[in-house]
Amino acid sequence: MGVALVGTVAIATIALRRGESINAMWLVVAALCSYALGYRFYSKFLAVKLLALDSTRATPAERLENGRDFVPTNKWVVFGHHFAAIAGPGPLVGPVLAAQFGYLPGTLWILAGAVFGGCVQDFVILLFSVRRDGKSLTEMARDEIGRVGGLVAYIAVLCIIIILLGVVALIVVNALKGSPWATFTIAMTIPIALLMGIYLRRLRPGKVLEVSFLGFVLVMLAIWGGQWVAQSSSLSPYFTLAAPTLAILIIVYGFAASALPVWLLLAPRDYLSTFVKLGTIAVLALGIVILRPTLHMPALTRFVDGSGPVFAGNIFPFAFITIACGAISGFHSLISSGTTPKLISRETETRVVGYGAMAAESFVAIMATIAACVLQPGIYFAINSPAGVVGKTAQAATATISAWGFPVSVTDMTSLAQAVGEHTLLNRTGGAPAFAVGMAHIFAQSLGGKLFMAIWYHFAIMFEALFILSILDAGTRVGRFMFQEALCHLWKPLGRTSWYPSVLANSALIAGAWGYFLWQGIKDPLGGINSLWPIFGISNQLLATVAFCVATTIVIKMGKGRFAAVTLVPLAGLVAVTFTASYQKIFSANPRIGFLAHARQLATDSAALPARPPEISRLMFNDRLDAVVTGVLVVLVILIVSESALEWLRVLSGRKLARVREAPIVPSRFAAEEAS
């Protein structure tokens, strides 16, 4: 009762307070109380009534134990492992972008979406995978819904990987462009990772934690040294790179990571990025709780009308696709049906791992919201607004933003840029720089004060860029394997992962696919994020739609149709969100929202010219391509939902025997040992 009461007061405070700043602790308290209540009551209801978790039933980790993939593991260890796998840049970037509506819409969606959607998805998919020997989402979709379900799941996974990689690469480019300090720090992670690799393989085999700590110390030294590189007239030009140069370097990096045996570099860097990620999340949580910063962003901004500069569109549906990770993320269903189910030693532990880890990730999203909202709104919009919306010069940008009612001056932006060691912070779209400034702002209140602001800023940029680069190389490899698996149906050798021409061709295909979206993003006068992040959000929610379709089908086949609302309601919400967002992105008459309207506007504007510039023709092509991609995603949603609905009708009407394809029930020896 106490938790409910405190939670209610906190939510009422953040929802009803208008016209004055509130403390970030209200968001923290509201979040913690929501997760505590959701875990204690809702997940308990799911565990007992819907899923009937059985601790006496052996899990695949126990039955198929092989010391490699299937290993019964302590639940808290699996929790940490699962959390480290699901927590990425998504819950940090999405809430920062959605903060353009104010802190309220994002916060409410993160809390409600996680408690009733994201946590439920992760929990049920994990349990269903555990009961099917750790099968993947795609395999479960094929087994339980049918071939169409399996095919849609496969295409959805491929789409999301390609779009995700293009978008996150764009975030890195926007964070590093024109910044010698940040670029130097990231460049230094290459020799540091190589040193780590040699240390791991030659000096102290297997001591990953030890070498990760050493790597972390070296990275901190690189950040410290970066300021001198940035100030050096001879070194600085080598690390001051324009967006196209960075984009080419990143595409080549993705291709090389997929096609070449560069594990000496990649594996240690992966460990390093995980080390930094977990440390940063822990330090940020501590920083917010100890320093209790004030939120300067209002609860709601004027941009709830859909005219936002960061991305165009109304709260519904765009806040719901902008914040995916942190509320509901379809990508999590791949992790919940990947490594994690093979480590679970008791069915009952899926509750803390599935539901609990997602609640923890949701809290990361709340911290990102706080980091964005501690900034003065004028500064937030100056960093996140593209030049195409606010103007190309500092004077024009600050004047436009001030005219919106968020005062900011050229002096404010210049002194902030100097404080964080950058030439400029204007038009740094993508969310990462705003998050980094917010994080630096919080820490600068105590840890080192203003003197350390530049260090904290570059630490945050390094953390995000390093982590995104490890997603890029892992994602390109996974995409390459998926392409190879599909193409082997055309010609067997194309599927052989040891046949080098196939490896090279498929790596080029996948790197070229996400590289195209990246290139499109850096050439977009509206900043790229305006076009690409919604497509990424739609594809992520499409994957969540697949996950909920699979979950609902299994629930109905289990004879628990009376509880199907648990998965049907989030499914209906996701369908409404993806349909509305897709429709608006394709057909809206507003050129800032609709791809086709934007292409038409470009055609009209260039009609008076004697010859249409190639740049304009390419932008028009990109708009039409984005419309087609979005259309394909909608068709996939329609296919998976109708195929699932038909299966539900067949089962509920008795025309088809309700039979779930679970692994045989075997008594757990752990339960027997515990009982004796």
**Which residue, 30 or 325, is less far from another protein as judged by CB?**
325
CA distance 275 to 632: 38
**Which residue, 152 or 157, is less far from another protein as judged by CB?**
157
**Which residue, 385 or 540, is less far from another protein as judged by CB?**
540
Supply the minimum distance, in Å, between the C-beta of residue 259 and another protein. 12
**Which residue, 321 or 416, is less far from another protein as judged by CB?**
321
**Which residue, 363 or 536, is less far from another protein as judged by CB?**
536
**Which residue, 427 or 578, is less far from another protein as judged by CB?**
578
Do 310 and 73 contact (CB within 8 A), yes or no?
no
First to last CA, the chain: 37
**Which residue, 69 or 674, is less far from another protein as judged by CB?**
69
**Which residue, 205 or 664, is less far from another protein as judged by CB?**
205
CA distance 432 to 177: 12
CA distance 331 to 157: 8
Supply the minimum distance, in Å, between the C-beta of residue 275 and another protein. 8
Supply the minimum distance, in Å, between the C-beta of residue 154 and another protein. 13
R_g over Cα of the chain: 25
Residues that bind another protein (CB under 8 A): 67-69, 71, 73-74, 76-81, 84-90, 157, 161, 164, 168, 200-202, 205-209, 212, 263, 267, 271, 274-275, 278, 324-325, 329, 331-332, 334-335, 338-339, 470-471, 474-475, 477-478, 481, 536, 540
Supply the minimum distance, in Å, between the C-beta of residue 599 and another protein. 28
Burial of 664 from C-beta contacts in 10 A (0-12 / 13-18 / 19+): exposed
Supply the minimum distance, in Å, between the C-beta of residue 294 and another protein. 30
Q: Which is nearest to 324 in space by CA: 94, 5, 641, 127?
A: 94
Supply the minimum distance, in Å, between the C-beta of residue 65 and another protein. 10
**Which residue, 212 or 567, is less far from another protein as judged by CB?**
212
Q: Which is nearest to 560 in space by CA: 45, 153, 41?
A: 45
Question: What DSSP designation does 234 have?
Answer: T
Supply the minimum distance, in Å, between the C-beta of residue 540 and another protein. 7
CA distance 415 to 272: 32
CA distance 472 to 464: 12
CA distance 440 to 602: 40
**Which residue, 214 or 569, is less far from another protein as judged by CB?**
214
Supply the minimum distance, in Å, between the C-beta of residue 349 and another protein. 14
Supply the minimum distance, in Å, between the C-beta of residue 443 and another protein. 23
Contacts 24+ apart (CB under 8 A), 652-660: 652/556, 652/561, 658/556, 658/557, 658/558, 658/559, 659/557, 660/144, 660/554, 660/557, 660/558
**Which residue, 161 or 454, is less far from another protein as judged by CB?**
161
**Which residue, 202 or 655, is less far from another protein as judged by CB?**
202
128-153 b/e (C-beta count within 10 Å ≥ 16 → b) = bbbbbbbbbbbbbbbbbbbebbbbbb
Whether omega for the bond prior to residue 493 falls within 30 degrees of 0, making it cis, is no
Do 397 and 527 contact (CB within 8 A), yes or no?
no
CA distance 506 to 498: 12
Supply the minimum distance, in Å, between the C-beta of residue 539 and another protein. 10
Q: Which is nearest to 577 in space by CA: 318, 304, 307, 362?
A: 318
CA–CA distances in Å: residue 74 to residues 44, 83, 198, 342, 379: 20, 14, 31, 12, 46
**Which residue, 86 or 439, is less far from another protein as judged by CB?**
86
Q: Which helix (H) or strand (E) holds 412?
A: helix 410-419
Supply the minimum distance, in Å, between the C-beta of residue 542 and another protein. 14
Q: Which is nearest to 661 in space by CA: 265, 205, 56, 146?
A: 146
CA–CA distances in Å: residue 261 to residues 258, 466, 498, 554, 614: 8, 20, 12, 41, 39
Question: What DSSP designation does 48 have?
Answer: I
**Which residue, 110 or 596, is less far from another protein as judged by CB?**
110
Q: Which string of DSSP letters, residue by residue, matches 320-372?
A: HHHS-TTT--TTHHHHHTTTGGGTBSSGGGHIIIIIIHHHHHHHHHHHHHHHH
Supply the minimum distance, in Å, between the C-beta of residue 504 and another protein. 16
Supply the minimum distance, in Å, between the C-beta of residue 606 and another protein. 36
Supply the minimum distance, in Å, between the C-beta of residue 89 and another protein. 7
Supply the minimum distance, in Å, between the C-beta of residue 189 and another protein. 17
